[in-house]
């Protein structure tokens, strides 16, 4: 049996997004929509060198959330409210424990939060 965390197999960008969801879950702010998550990640992890060149965009967050959902790390939930056009933005919750995320993400992400 491998000692490797399941999180080690996902990209650093996806780990950063997942860590953002975990932090918001710890603060009781989930389910979270993509635009709120992007803002949180930009505030909390501005110096992390992920695969994304420049700042993390909402499209980067959406792609990461789709991949994280497929891997079973987050769950998409029905939006609490809809837009004026009647469409709801997807919202996401953490599907694994906050501790599992903290224990599994790259140390450089946690180091950036500690600074």
The model's pLDDT over 49-101, given as tens digits with 9 standing for 90+, comes to 666 556 788 898 999 999 999 999 999 997 666 555 556 678 999 999 999 99
Its pTM stands at 0.83
* Beta pairing class for 32-33 and 74-77: unpaired
Q: Give start and end residues of each alpha helix (H) in 6-106.
A: 12-26, 34-44, 58-71, 98-104
Contact 93, 84 (CB under 8 A): no
Domain spans of the chain, in order of start: 7-114
pLDDT tier at 1, thresholds 50, 70, 90: very low
Q: Which fold has domain 7-114?
A: Arc Repressor Mutant, subunit A (1.10.10)
pLDDT digits (tens, 9 = 90+) for 13-49: 899 899 999 999 999 999 999 999 999 988 877 666 6
Integer Rg of the chain from CA:
14
């Amino acid at each position: 049996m491998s000692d490797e965390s399941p999180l080690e197999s996902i990209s650093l960008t996806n780990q950063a997004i997942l860590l953002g969801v975990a932090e918001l879950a710890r603060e009781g702010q989930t389910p979270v929509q993509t635009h709120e998550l992007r803002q949180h990640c930009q505030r909390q992890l501005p110096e992390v060198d992920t695969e994304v060149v420049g700042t993390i965009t909402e499209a980067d967050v959406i792609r990461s959330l789709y991949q994280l959902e497929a891997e079973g790390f987050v769950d998409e939930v029905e939006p609490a409210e809809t837009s004026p056009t009647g469409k709801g933005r997807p919202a996401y919750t953490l599907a694994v424990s906050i501790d599992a995320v903290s224990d599994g993400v790259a140390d450089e992400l946690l180091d950036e939060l500690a600074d």
